[in-house]
Structure 1
């Protein structure tokens, strides 16, 4: 006899969605601000492509997951 399939469940409890959204969005905005400040205050000769890519990637990841958890917290299941 075949067993009934298990329902799909989130690895993160639903009660954590608002907190995760706020935390990740704050971190993403901090990295974004850091990126803009770095670009505005450093000269063209002193810029590091590794620092720019790292900061931009971290900002992108945190803002992306923060947006996802914000949508999940408001009931928009994506």
Structure 2
């Protein structure tokens, strides 16, 4: 039995759109995090909210960067 070729679960034509969308969402969340840090006093900050916001922004920026590299032809 011949082995099957490995294919992407996401169509290649979607890579540029996904990269722009995910990078934009990640940058908006990062901006809201910086706004939260600048406008909230130290006594009113929540560590859980900060960690959650950082994690979500990081995930979107990571996948956005991955799809940007894939759309440019740098297969990682």
Tell me whether the two structures share a fold, i.e. TM-score over 0.5.
yes
Tell me the TM-score range normalised by the shorter chain.
Answer: over 0.9
Shift of 1:45: 0.3
Q: TM-score, normalised by structure 1?
A: 0.96
Mind listing any 5+ residue stretches in structure 1 that lack a counterpart? none
Tell me, yes or no, if structure 1 residue 48 matches structure 2 residue 46: yes
Aligned to 2:4: 6
- The alignment covers a number of residue pairs equal to 76
Separation in 1 of the partners of 2:66 and 2:2? Answer: 30
Aligned to 2:37: 39
Mind listing any 5+ residue stretches in structure 2 that lack a counterpart? none
Shift of 1:28: 0.3
Q: Which has the larger radius of gyration?
A: 1
Superposed CA offset, 1:16-74 (max 9, x none): 00000000000000010011000000000000011101100010000000000000000
Q: TM-score, normalised by structure 2?
A: 0.99
Give every structure 1 segment of 4 or more consecutive aligned residues whose post-TM-superposition deviation is greater than 2 Å.
none
Cα RMSD, aligned residues only = 0.3
SS of the residue aligned with 2:37? helix
